[in-house]
Amino acid sequence: MRSLKREAVVALVTAVVISGIWLVATRQVQKRQSSNSSIPRRADGKPDFSGVWEATNSANWDLLTHAPRPMVGQAGVYSDVAVLAAPVVALGAIGWVPPDLGVVEGDEIPYQPWAAKRRQENLANWLDRDPEIGCFKPGIPRAMYMPYKFQIIQGTTKVLMVFEYAGAERTIHLDPVAPYPADAYMGHAVGHWEGDSLVTDVSSFTSETWLDRSGDFHSDALHVVERYTPITRDAFRYEATIEDKNVFTRPWKISMPIYRRLEPNAQLMEFQCREMAEETLLGHLRKNQLVKQWEGKTMRVEVTRKVPPGNAVYERHFTGNPPTRQ
Amino acid sequence: MLVRLFIALAIMSAGAQGQPAKQFRTPWGEPDLQGIWNGETLTPLQRPARFANKPVLTPEEAAKVEAEVAARPGRNARSERGTEKDVAGAYNQIFAQRGTRLSDRRTSLIIDPPDGRIPPLTPEGQKKRDAAREYMQALLQGTSGGKPGPPSPRHNDPPPDYNVDRLNRADGPEDRSLMERCLAGTLPKLDAHYRIVQSPGQVGITVDWGQGSGFVRTIPVDGSKHLPATIRFWKGDARGRWEGDTLVVDIANFSHKAEFQGSRENLHLVERFKRVSENRLEYTVTVEDATTWTRPWTFMVPWEKESDKANQIYESGCHEGNYGIIGMLANTRAAEKLFKQGKGPDPRTMDLATGGDIGGGIERER
């Protein structure tokens, strides 16, 4: 009798404990499913953006809504149907820009008239002008939506972002810091919290970075305000308001989700593109030309390098600044 | 009451001196190494012969050495050389960012072996070093920086291994040093400023070095293993762990293109980052490569904390602004053209390699 009673008590206690565990477990599952409460947070309650991330859109090709188009094209049989041009003709379907919806609010970049013309020129001369081709630092906001992973290490007072492309990096200062005494490709960023959003103010830019592979550009008057807002545990909304009195008629805004790389061992790899870009950047200055021709089953591609005359040899960057200040 | 306060203060300050490291914790409980650290030093990696058996100098001796180096006219003077070497020495002492103070008055950063010197090379290591030196000497033959004689036929040979040095040749970018190509972001990196940022299980280090040749490292401290040996990085594959308050980072999988003191793809580094006080972090590295050296060796550099508010880690713009490499190649092409036209000397007889003053310190290396 006594032992029966004891067994009953044990059973009751066990049931209570198990249902308790079950309840807690259920709650945790519910917690994980409800997006707001599942956002990783720091000891101080602020969201933790640490991790490996990547935008999966086509914004690095073109910020605006775009149909497929040749990476480099020329007139085809029909005036409105381009074909791949010589530098990419061997690539076939791979030589076409993947289509996507735009990331610009209103799907329009408010260029000043001279700048709209410059942007068209940039697009037409993409292979000669895009800083990405030279492995030059991507700048902000472009670094955030390149087709490479990037890592956020959110420290106590600094947020470090490391980009696989070119091993570029930037630091967002959450604590008071002296102004940056120079220009920086990746800008100088100070941040603060607005609720769950990390808001940064980025300035001290050079004029030598672009916004995409479509010739969208800015001057050294660029000023970017970014906003990082958690959507779920594994995604945040990235917004950037872009202002440049030399190039645009008004501030404009881009917005996109950026996703966590969910592989359990996700990590940055090394993409040392400086060495990779040397043949493109310096091949014309070799004593003996290295890349001369390529031959496949259906085509032969001949390459003749040209040395530009005089000081043009040193024209490494095509800056976004107006040719003469307007 | 006042007495009690004094006693409390005395105990607190004694505690701070006795066990300081414990107080540097991140909010999530890991040792906190964050901030800007200055690792510049005048102390050379290896102990110079004149300081044999003298690992630490007296304050007077140290002050004398520091004054000597500061006063050396060659420290940033290029005018004493001929034009040829001046042009070739595109990067001089001012780019090398050497410190002006000895670390703890030490005469070598190497703490093991006790003689402060890199251990002897293995026969294989010696063979590789000799091959590299012979090749470099051959290309210098007939110039002001080399042995007399006609230009060596080896001018047409490729280097014995992926070139990392400044050759007396500029046929293409590969003939120039990693520094000139902005590819010198290799490990270990001394004489730099470092900013450490941590998140749980991750450590990031931005290395500001060589006036714009800096780079960034990310170190997983999460128990993960090295990548497969087929994956090789210029900066190797780093994996960290905490041993007490010390961050221990194991680096393997180096590329054969990166070089440290003659070691390449077999280089294995174990870094130890230990914050010993508010303002001092000891950076200790054990260097191992059984194919290059007869035994592992270890060096230690003390880093000093700098103001996070006043100072900045500057972005590296070496590659973006690298007009030097364009000039070197374009200049050599122009010299070849003039030689062909009978208007200038054979470029092979001009010294493009030994200018500059990057090795300047308490002992001129190389």
Q: What is the pLDDT of residues A244-282, one digit of tens each?
A: 999 999 999 999 999 999 999 999 999 999 999 999 999
Structure token digits, residue A55? 């935008």
A276 part of contact set with chain B, CB < 8 Å: no
**pLDDT per residue as tens, chain B (366 positions):** 444 444 444 444 433 444 445 689 999 999 999 999 999 999 999 999 999 999 999 999 999 999 988 876 554 544 445 556 555 554 444 445 568 899 999 999 999 999 999 999 999 999 999 999 999 999 999 998 899 999 999 999 999 999 999 999 999 999 999 999 999 999 999 999 999 999 999 999 999 998 789 999 999 999 999 999 999 999 999 999 999 999 999 999 999 999 999 999 999 999 999 999 999 999 999 999 999 999 999 999 999 999 999 999 999 999 999 999 999 999 999 999 999 999 999 999 998 888 654 444 554 333
Residue in B with minimal Cα distance to A275: B183
Q: What is the DSSP secondary structure assignment for residue A43, as one 8-state letter?
A: T
CB contact under 8 A, A153 and B200: no
Nearest residue, CB atoms, A43 vs list B28, B34, B312: B28
Nearest residue, CB atoms, A314 vs list B224, B309, B326: B326
- Cβ neighbours of A202 in B, within 8 Å: none
Burial of A168 per CB tally in 10 Å (0-12, 13-18, 19+): buried
B215 part of contact set with chain A, CB < 8 Å: yes
The pLDDT assigned to A197 comes to 98
A286 part of contact set with chain B, CB < 8 Å: yes
B348 part of contact set with chain A, CB < 8 Å: no
Block mean pLDDT (10 aa), chain A, length 326? 52 52 47 62 96 98 98 95 96 98 98 96 95 98 98 98 98 97 96 98 96 97 98 98 97 98 96 97 97 96 94 86 62
B332 part of contact set with chain A, CB < 8 Å: yes
The pLDDT assigned to A25 comes to 47
Nearest residue, CB atoms, A50 vs list B199, B215, B233: B199
DSSP labels for B89-112? Answer: --S-HHHH---SS-GGGBS-SEEE
A160 part of contact set with chain B, CB < 8 Å: yes
Q: Which of residues 95-134 of A touch B (CB under 8 A)?
A: none
DSSP labels for B282-350? Answer: EEEEEEE-TTTBSS-EEEEEEEEEE-TTT--PPPP-TTTT-HHHHHHHHHHHHHHHHHHTTSS--GGGS
Q: How far apart are CA A176 and CA A189, in angstroms?
A: 11
Say which residue the tokens 């520094």 belong to. B179
pTM for the structure as a whole = 0.89
A312 part of contact set with chain B, CB < 8 Å: no
The pLDDT assigned to B94 comes to 46
Closest by alpha carbon to B163, among B259, B288, B37? Answer: B259
